[in-house]
Structure 1
Amino acid sequence: MEYVKNLDWLRVNLENKSVRIIDCRFDLQSPDKGEKWYEEGHIPSSVYFHLEKDLSNPVREHGGRHPLPDIEELVKKLENIGVDKDTIVIAYDNGEGAFAGRCWWLLNYIGHSNTYILDGGYKEWIKKGYPTTRETLTFSKSSFSPIIQSHMAATYQEISLQVQTKGQDKVLIDSREYKRYTGEMEPIDKKSGHIPGAENFVWTEGLKNGYFLSIDDQKERFSSLKPDKEYIVYCGSGITAIPNYISLKMAGFDKVKLYPGSFSDWISYEENEVETCLPSQLEK
């Protein structure tokens, strides 16, 4: 399966009417910055989807810091930009892979598998000297019927059961940076540490300079994992775990899920325990 499209492919297909481009640039520390970037310049024909306004629901007691959006509302937004079952959707960010990844995962989750991440992102697009514009286009409304791919998402109940039973057929993968995993540092959430039993594979290690690693490199990165098990990836709020989701799929792992609420959802239940540990206690 193909997960990304390269910059040259998009440059050639800018005028292709069956292609729809979604700008997903975002800054977690400054949520309005992505829209400003879009207004200052973007890939021609692209539309802007805001992580928190378009690709997430408002925060509630549970569900994490970036709850999944209302599916009906998401479908309406896709229909308003002309996405139907035959549309090729290209999502891009600044090369992090996480914000475009959120769009990629959501569209695949509602059954639109003809969706790809722009490998290298906007920064590499600019480096190549490819065209940008400040023009915003409108598109004819389409019709799209979602088919939810429930196998792509792990529920809170599934995570809770895994922690309680310490099941051997599933493995939790914490995608956050190592010091957040160990509990040495926590800049965002009210508790530090990780979901009990989780292993750590930092999401940024699956990319280099905004490009996803090759299939062979992804296989090497996950060489310690057994292909017959099911892997559930999470991060702080379900965003940066998605590059790990894609990297695992690229490496040939068939049974991969995202825990959308991630660590911020897990700790929203006061009774849930977290694990912390010193680096010396961990085997990497």
Structure 2
Amino acid sequence: MKHPLLFSLLFLISTCVFAEAEFLVDSDWLSEHIDDDNLVILEVRYHPHRYHTVGHIPGAIQVQRFKDLGDNQGYPLMRFPSKDQFQSTLRQWGVNDDSTLILYDDSNTALTTRLFYLLELYGFNTEQVKILNGGTVDWSAFEEMTTDPTPQPKPGSVTLKAANPKLFVEWTDVYDNIVSSRDPNFVLLDARPREMYTGKVVKHSISAGHIPGAINIVSLDGTSAQKWRDDEAIASLYKEIAKDKTIYVYCHDGFRMSLTYLQLKHLGYTDVRLYNGGWSHWGNRLTLPVVEGEEPYSGDFAL
């Protein structure tokens, strides 16, 4: 016979392994807070023109996903913007240090997570940042969109910090710890679609395939119908990865890897770092090694 107190404790633990994602909110939450004085609504659409043609949530400010979330003078363009560049952009959107930000997109949160990550990278308090789970689909099912332009807000005064070096890596780190030394304390994740990982499809690069040693976990598999899947489904994607590892993540342009970052952090992984430039950087450097096929290592790298 099971002790009733022990049984209750085990049940409680089994049902509370993962806390509800505090940064995910629904359209009801936004409806209740849309007129808050310190709320800033930011829309990141895959096709930015739809902010004007299809419409946006009333009061939303347009975020142009490449120009506003990358280094406009860098190569590739989607390296992280500098602190000063990103701070200037946030101030143009009317963001202050005490602002509450609500982010939404039409791409299963892959675009908003890039913005969320950059805010965390530069020290903004992400407890003040919310993501609309369901994006444009969730909102438009019950509420109106508008094509009326949002008035230019009063410039904000947000002050960012230097980039947190524990949140990103450069290609040299990937080369040292994964390709060269194969340090077992590190894991490299490729968040792109499977056919791009294998090299069957070549996109956003000259080279086909993946970085030697990378394993493929498609972050968008943790979403469905513009929403995050439940924690059990997301956890199953990453079940083979121990939480005591340092995890490097990359994708094409920095969106899918940002979704991976937030998924892993939500699941309790503590050391997750994004490759600044990703495959758009590595795959266009012809001297850097690549592997094609289903396995992390093949050919000379399998020896």
- The TM-score normalised by the length of structure 2 is 0.84
Alignment counterpart, residue 166 of structure 2, candidates 151, 154, 166: 151
| Partner residue in 2 for 1:232 | 248
Query: Runs of at least 4 residues of structure 1 off by over 4 A?
Result: none
Distance 1:212 1:235 in 2: 19
Count of residue pairs the alignment pairs up: 272
1:185 aligns to 2:188 (yes or no): no
Distance 1:185 1:59 in 2: 28
Instruction: Provide the secondary structure at the position in 1 that maps to 2:151.
Output: coil
| Partner residue in 2 for 1:160 | 175
Kindly state the Cα deviation for residue 217 of structure 1 after the two structures are TM-superposed.
2.4
AA aligned to 1:149 is: N
Compared with structure 1, are the counterparts of its residues 170 and 3 closer, same or farther at alpha carbon in structure 2 (3 Å cutoff)?
Answer: farther
Instruction: Provide the secondary structure at the position in 1 that maps to 2:101.
Output: strand
Kindly state the Cα deviation for residue 269 of structure 1 after the two structures are TM-superposed.
2.8
Distance 1:131 1:264 in 2: 34
| Partner residue in 2 for 1:264 | 280
Deviation per CA, 1:111-133: give whole Å up to 9, x if none.
11222221111122112234535
Kindly state the Cα deviation for residue 105 of structure 1 after the two structures are TM-superposed.
1.1
Distance 2:227 2:56 in 1: 19
Kindly state the Cα deviation for residue 158 of structure 1 after the two structures are TM-superposed.
1.1
Compared with structure 1, are the counterparts of its residues 19 and 183 closer, same or farther at alpha carbon in structure 2 (3 Å cutoff)?
Answer: same
Distance 1:189 1:71 in 2: 27
Distance 2:195 2:233 in 1: 24
Determine if contact 2:108/2:224 at 8 Å carries over to the other structure.
Answer: no
AA aligned to 2:119 is: L
Compared with structure 1, are the counterparts of its residues 187 and 76 closer, same or farther at alpha carbon in structure 2 (3 Å cutoff)?
Answer: closer
Instruction: Provide the secondary structure at the position in 2 that maps to 1:150.
Output: coil
Compared with structure 1, are the counterparts of its residues 150 and 278 closer, same or farther at alpha carbon in structure 2 (3 Å cutoff)?
Answer: closer
Alignment counterpart, residue 123 of structure 1, candidates 137, 141, 155: 137
| Partner residue in 1 for 2:52 | 39
Alignment counterpart, residue 8 of structure 1, candidates 25, 28, 36: 28
Compared with structure 1, are the counterparts of its residues 98 and 260 closer, same or farther at alpha carbon in structure 2 (3 Å cutoff)?
Answer: farther
| Partner residue in 2 for 1:21 | 41
The 10-residue stretch of structure 1 (2-11 or 229-238) with the greater mean CA deviation from structure 2: 2-11
Instruction: Provide the secondary structure at the position in 1 that maps to 2:119.
Output: helix
AA aligned to 1:184 is: K
Gaps of 5+ in 1: 28-33
Compared with structure 1, are the counterparts of its residues 132 and 18 closer, same or farther at alpha carbon in structure 2 (3 Å cutoff)?
Answer: same
Deviation per CA, 1:162-197: give whole Å up to 9, x if none.
221111111000001111111122133211100110
Compared with structure 1, are the counterparts of its residues 240 and 65 closer, same or farther at alpha carbon in structure 2 (3 Å cutoff)?
Answer: farther
Deviation per CA, 1:129-168: give whole Å up to 9, x if none.
3453523122222212112322111122211212211111
% same residue = 26
**What does 1:1-284 correspond to in 2, within 5 Å?**
2-27=22-47, 34=48, 36-40=49-53, 41-58=55-72, 60=74, 62=75, 64-112=76-124, 113=126, 114-147=128-161, 148-162=163-177, 163-278=179-294
Compared with structure 1, are the counterparts of its residues 65 and 72 closer, same or farther at alpha carbon in structure 2 (3 Å cutoff)?
Answer: closer
- The TM-score normalised by the length of structure 1 is 0.89
The 10-residue stretch of structure 1 (121-130 or 176-185) with the greater mean CA deviation from structure 2: 121-130
- Greater C-alpha Rg: 2
